[in-house]
Amino acid sequence: MHENINIFDTTLRDGEQTPGVLITSNEKLKIANKLDELGVDVIEAGSAITSKDEQESIKLITENNLNAEICSFARPLQIDIDTAIECNVDSVNIVIPSSDLHIEFKLKKTRCEVEQMAIDAVEYAKDHGLIVELSCEDATRTSVDDLKSLYTKTIDAGADRICACDTVGILTPEKSYNFYHELSKLDIPLSVHCHNDFGLAVANTLEALNAGATQAHLTINGLGERAGNAALEEVVMALESLYNVHTHIKTELFYETSQLVESISGVVLQSNKSIVGANAFAHESGIHADGVLKKSETYEPIKPEVVGHRRRFILGKHVGKHVIHEKIKETNTDVTDDELNQIFMRIKALSDMGKTVTDVDLQAITDDILNIDIDESIHLDEYTTVSGNRVTPTASVKLKLNDEDKIEAAVGVGPVDAAIAAIQKTLQNTVDITLEEYHVDAITGGTDALIDVLIKLKCDDKIITARSTQPDIIMASVDAYLKGANKILTDKKRK
């Protein structure tokens, strides 16, 4: 494997082709800035020929003078390359179908005609000062001889890099090694581009790099068409941790980059997603949690801080007393062995009933057993929301904060968002709280269903979970938020 592996990020192009995803110009710029901070070598900012809005998005990125090479996808057509040039990109990723299937049924051309298209496009792009990467679409269903013929002719025409795309994700790791090893003999920078149709994109990418490929096409969170592309964070951490290949990527930014892309794309990560998923460093099992508390390596392959994540202990039916004790100690509260046992039994009983035990629940149980009066720093007096098809969702709240009356109003994308925003305004000079996660479920049927809201709030790098179950989704959301905020303020007072 080469010592210097380049990272080509295609979140803004192939990633945006995820069904249902649409990223605005300003959102693309935010992601591009974060990718640049992360340290990727190439950012494929989009396909300039797609639309006027796409061209404006790419121009917005190129105008920011990022360190990364800014690239545009292009067909082997002069109009595509001209449009990319107008956007001031550094390079073009010229993509041309190479398999008999694509050439015959999609392009309806001969192989000779396709090769000439590729040669002409490369020469034209080079004549206009662009870095050129020539990508063969459906390369893994193309004979190696045909691929080498096409690549050799475009290299002679001036291509700087070549890329072989596993367009429908049919490679296996063994085939990937042999395939890319053969192409690496062309002695030019070689990119691997894998799709995840069989869940093998990361493995196939690593084998391609092991076989001599020098650059990987990747996306944050594995976004992409159908089952997605190889996930950037997974490939890089495998290189760093398993292959001992040190990239120039700032891995400590992975979690916040992942969160940004998740928020903008609207594609929610599965909780057990590796490296950046909510449960990637979460522990419930008593045996595992005990081991991690003693030495993290016992049940964690890497420390969460390496990827900007955090460790969490879940209060579920498998939890052990040591985890409960640690969470109680975080609030500067002391308990005896007997009191700890009582708390432990109460949590077990709640878990057996199918209830997720939150940090607020733990505090309530602890305070009850220790006979500590619950001190609510925030008390809601009233709230009002207004929403409709021709009305901007608006909310006003009146609450007592440390016995002081506070009244605020805010707007949002919906009544829940507006209500939470209004509460946040009342707290902005008291405590800095960020809403990290928000989940809502209907736990009974019908329009009068009970609504269960579970939220996670962040304050001073600590995550607090809280929940509320009500027939009114707005009230459940407000109640859960205030429970979490009260927990945060109570912890601060006790410390």
The per-residue pLDDT for 299 is: 85
The per-residue pLDDT for 315 is: 76
Q: Are 394 and 409 in contact (CB under 8 A)?
A: yes
Of residues 250, 263, 304, the one with CA closest to residue 40: 250
The per-residue pLDDT for 266 is: 92
- Report domain extents, the chain: 6-265, 282-369, 378-488
Looking up tokens 């508390």, which residue turns up?
A: 293
Q: Both tokens of residue 380?
A: 């809601």
Burial of residue 336 (number of CB atoms within 10 Å: 0-12, 13-18, 19+)? exposed
Cα–Cα distances in Å, from 453 out to 356, 384, 467? 11, 19, 5
pTM of the entire predicted model: 0.80
Nearest 5 degrees, angle CA 43-CA 48-CA 53? 105
The CATH architecture assigned to 6-265 reads Alpha-Beta Barrel (3.20)
The CA radius of gyration of the chain, in Å to the nearest whole number, is: 27
One-letter amino acid identity for 35? L
Beta-strand pair 312-313/282-283: parallel
Mean pLDDT of successive 10-residue stretches along the chain, which has 495 residues: 94 95 95 98 97 96 97 98 98 97 95 97 98 98 97 98 98 98 97 98 98 98 97 98 95 96 93 92 73 83 94 76 82 86 85 75 82 80 92 94 93 94 93 90 76 89 86 92 92 80
Query: Who contacts 244 (Cβ-Cβ below 8 Å, separation ≥6)?
Result: none
Per DSSP, 278 falls in state T
Distance CA 35, CA 24 (A): 16
Q: Both tokens of residue 124?
A: 């034209």
The per-residue pLDDT for 495 is: 72
Q: Where are the beta strands (DSSP E) in 340-432?
A: 378-388, 391-401, 404-411
Q: Are 114 and 98 in contact (CB under 8 A)?
A: yes
Looking up tokens 């707005």, which residue turns up?
A: 474
Q: Both tokens of residue 117?
A: 């298209």
The per-residue pLDDT for 375 is: 67
Q: Both tokens of residue 27?
A: 């959102």
The CATH architecture assigned to 282-369 reads Orthogonal Bundle (1.10)
Query: Who contacts 51 (Cβ-Cβ below 8 Å, separation ≥6)?
Result: none
Nearest 5 degrees, angle CA 401-CA 405-CA 409? 95
The per-residue pLDDT for 373 is: 67
The per-residue pLDDT for 374 is: 64
The fold for domain 378-488 equals Double Stranded RNA Binding Domain (3.30.160)
